[in-house]
Structure 1
Amino acid sequence: MLFVHAHPDDETISTGGTIARLIDDGTAVTVLSCTRGECGEIVPPELQHLLGDGDAIAVHRETEIAEAMKILGVTDHRWLGGRDARMVDRDPRRYRDSGMVWGGFGPELGPDLPADALCVADAGEVAADIATVIASVGATAVVSYDANGGYGHPDHIAAHSAARHAARVMNVPYYEIVAPGTLRPQDLSDPDVSVVDIAPVRARKLAALRAHRSQLTVDGDRIVMSGGQIDEIGSVEAFRREGHPVAHRDWSDYSRRARVLACALAVVVGATLGALGTVNHQVSVDLFGASGPIGLVLGLLVVTATLAGLRLIFDNRVVVGFASVALLVVIAVLAAESTGGSVLIPDSTIAYGWLYGTVIVVAVVLAWPKLSHPRRGNIVGSTQPKGFTSP
């Protein structure tokens, strides 16, 4: 099993219990850290002298993760870009912590982005380095974050993209981490979701968390992060096997910024369809002596395919609703009678076909029920972390 994480402490916070259980069950585990967390904040007063010195923070966090790995039982920990985690014929390199600030829409890149930061590194190079590790250890599965990186940190998102791509190239299953607090009752019957009971190794996870003392404090059943955020330490860790990644993501799973961007792009797409279709719906061609309304047919086909595609991708009515409103508004504006009468939409059968045809397409796409999607994978029992198997 290969666990790919962005910074030291991430591996213990989100997967420490599973790592310990797998090792106890005899599974070979490799933990790959993408960066040394050079931009991390510092919690203890006696370590405040490290602030502002990324290299010093990195050296200290190297000692912390080494201790955490020992506690969890990991004997194969690697740094991405190092000699044992670098594509063939390439000199070793270092991927640095990209840093993060909280912006209006959530986590954003900090103002002082290092030139060798993980999130600005060549995505193919990062994926190739991870693929090299998959090959060298014979990993049969890769575990990392979901598309939002768990909570939106740019390095987590970069780690997700590279690890998923590497897993696909190497033809091994990819598991994304699911925050236990987001598990819904229906997830427990989803064969793609693996839930690992970490109660037998919980004490080791807590000890490993305490090893990362520069970044967090363990307070009973809670983790207090350097920024003051509080996370509960649950009794389970959960993962979702990638099979149909788009279908498995609910609208609420996307960050606010991603939802706003998706709706804005949908408006642009809808408006463009309305304008192009209105301008070209009267185009016709002569076939066997008869005139065929090719513009109308193609226009309605493109509208249908686009709206249906948006509905399938996002599996909700929000995005396609924005596109539909923009589509119909543009058509209505262009259909309004101008000085001398409307030119773009004349009083004709084809014009009525375009006007009412788009309304029917919009109504059908918005009205159809939520789709069900095929599932695959295994449920993890409460006593043994199964489910991490090759197809």
Structure 2
Amino acid sequence: MLEDGRPGDRPGRLLLVHAHPDDETLTTGVAIAHHVARGDEVHVLTCTLGEEGEVIPPALAHLEGDGPALAAHRRRELAAAMDALGVTHHLLGAPGAGDPPAFRDSGMAGSAAAGHPRAWAAVPLAEAAEAVGEVLAAVGPDVVVTYDAGGGYGHPDHVRTHEATRAAVAAAASPVPLYGTLTPLSWAEEDTGWLHAHVPSDAGWVLPGPDSAYAANVVPDEVVTHAVVDPGVVPRQARALRAHETQVVVGDGWYALSNHHVFRLAGREGYARLDPTTGRPLPEGAA
């Protein structure tokens, strides 16, 4: 459970800020489903519609490279995932349900999409933070959650989402705890062993090997000060992931992305409080 400073006479209110559709379920799906099951009020803010995403199903391959068409399809996927998770959803810069978002997917590092005038990673930080801050003020959360300073694996939109969220929290009228997603090294090692034992090795999936480098958000165990551990919510997380059919393949206790890399659905997520000024994880017990 993610700690907050809410009064004891009402449910908690969480705001989770993500870059693209599917990030919310891949990265924080356990925390979302856990807090919904507790009766907390959970809001998800998505900053772009993922126009630059790769498409997995052959029947939908025509969407790849067609930004508007893929955005429209992923918006429907996102709505289905939000319904499966039972949360309130916000699309950045789109106050109405049918409004287009204010910002666009920037693509991976070095992508030509980063040159688009509304690319999320290239928008001035002050403008990005102001947009996130408007949602923050409207929701009034007890807890805000986003990526660590490296954006999990370095995607420019994830990094910008962290920066904008951190700046919005720092500028908020009332202090609110900010959490970043991190994975303890011991969990990553356990998951690697589990995947090799449970995922077919002859089906084209890419399993982590003994010499594989972990993502940058895999850190020494002591850096991770908070955890949400609830295997019981994995079926709900899996249902939400299946809604993101262009981006994710869901197996029995695992999922794979468009690059065929496989990850475990372990029913646990690690977090740390972040310093909103620096973005660095705070030690356990820090105020």
TM-score normalised to structure 1 length: 0.57
3-state SS, counterpart of residue 120 of structure 1: coil
- 1:231-250 matches, within 5 Å, as 231-243=263-275
- Confirm whether residue 197 of structure 1 aligns to residue 197 of structure 2: no
Is 1:150–1:179's contact at 8 Å kept on the other side of the alignment?
A: no
Q: Does 1:229 align with 2:241?
A: no
Match 1:50 to one of 57, 60, 63 = 63
Q: Deviations over 1:200-233 (max 9, x none)?
A: 2111001111111100101222221112222222
Q: TM-score, normalised by structure 2?
A: 0.77
Among 207, 217, 229, the alignment partner of 2:239 is: 207
Q: 1:178 aligns with which of 165, 178, 182?
A: 182
Taking a change above 3 Å as real, the CA distance of residues 60 and 218 of structure 1, as seen in their structure-2 partners, is same
State the 1:94 CA deviation: 1.7
State the shift of 1:24 in Å: 1.5
Correspondence 1:17 to 2:30: yes
Aligned partners of 1:128, 1:9: CA distance in 2, in Å?
Answer: 24
Q: Indicate conservation of the 8 Å contact 1:84/1:133, yes or no.
A: no
**Whole-Å Cα distance in 1 between the matches of residues 100 and 85 of structure 2?**
27
Query: RMSD over aligned Cα, in angstroms?
Result: 2.3
Matches within 5 A, 1:1-16: 1-16=14-29
Distance in 2 between residues matched to 1:147 and 1:185, nearest whole Å? 17
Distance 1:152 1:374, change over 3 A: closer
Aligned in 2, Cα 1:117/1:374: closer, same or farther, shift over 3 Å? closer
SS at match of 2:249: strand
Gaps of 5+ in 2: 1-13, 189-217
Look up the match of 2:201: none
**Aligned-pair CA distance for 1:151:** 0.2
CA–CA separation in structure 1 for the residues paired with 2:62 and 2:51:
14
Q: Is the 8 A contact 1:197 1:237 kept in 2?
A: yes
Question: Aligned equivalents of 2:126 and 2:276: distance in 1?
Answer: 23
Partner of 2:285 in structure 1? 376
Q: Aligned residue for 1:131?
A: 133
1:187 Cα deviation from its structure 2 partner: 4.5
CA contact (8 A) 1:82 1:92 kept: yes
Tell me if structure 2 keeps the 8 A contact 1:4–1:144: yes
1:148 equivalent in structure 2:
150
Q: Is the 8 A contact 1:243 1:376 kept in 2?
A: no
Matched, 1:216 2:229: no
Query: Following TM superposition, by how much is the alpha carbon of 1:185 offset from its aligned partner in structure 2, in angstroms?
Result: 4.2
| SS of residue matched to 1:205 | helix
1:11-160 mapped onto 2 (5 Å cutoff): 11-74=24-87, 76-83=88-95, 94-100=102-108, 108-113=109-114, 114-160=116-162
Q: Is residue 85–residue 237 contact of structure 2 (8 Å, CA) maintained in 1? A: yes
Q: Stretches of 4+ moved more than 4 A in 1?
A: 244-249
Q: Give SS of 1:118's match.
A: coil
Partner SS state of residue 228, structure 1? coil
**What is the identity, as a one-letter code, of the residue corresponding to 1:97?**
D
* Secondary structure of residue in 2 paired with 1:78: strand
Query: How far off is 1:195 after superposition?
Result: 0.5
For residue 245 of structure 1, report the CA deviation from its aligned partner: 8.1
Alpha-carbon separation, structure 1, partners of 2:53 and 2:275: 34
Residue 187 and residue 82 in structure 1: after superposition, are their counterparts in 2 closer, same or farther (change >3 A)?
A: same
Residue 178 of structure 2 contacts residue 276 of structure 2 at CA under 8 Å; is this kept in 1?
no
> Is the radius of gyration larger for structure 1 or structure 2?
1
Letter of the 1:36 partner, please give it: L
Deviations 1:136-160 (A, max 9, x none): 1111221000111000000000000
Instruction: Extract unaligned runs of 5+ from structure 1.
Output: 86-90, 101-107, 250-372, 378-390
In the TM superposition, residue 135 of structure 1 has moved relative to its aligned partner by: 1.1
Decide whether the 8 Å contact of 2:147 with 2:180 is kept in 1.
Answer: yes
Partner SS state of residue 89, structure 2: strand
Q: Deviations over 1:338-379 (max 9, x none)?
A: xxxxxxxxxxxxxxxxxxxxxxxxxxxxxxxxxxx86425xx
- Residues 57-98 of structure 1 deviation map (CA, whole Å, 9 limit, x = unaligned): 001101111111111111x2011111269xxxxx98520000
* Alignment-derived partner of residue 196 in structure 2: none
SS at match of 2:41: coil
Contact 2:17 2:45 in 1 (8 A): yes
Alignment identity in percent? Answer: 40
The higher-RCO structure (CA 8 Å, 6+ apart) is 2
Q: Give the letter for the 2:19 counterpart.
A: A
Partner in structure 1 of residue 192 of structure 2: none
CA distance in 2, matches of 1:125, 1:244: 17
For the residues of structure 1 that align with 2:232 and 2:254, how far apart are their CA atoms?
18
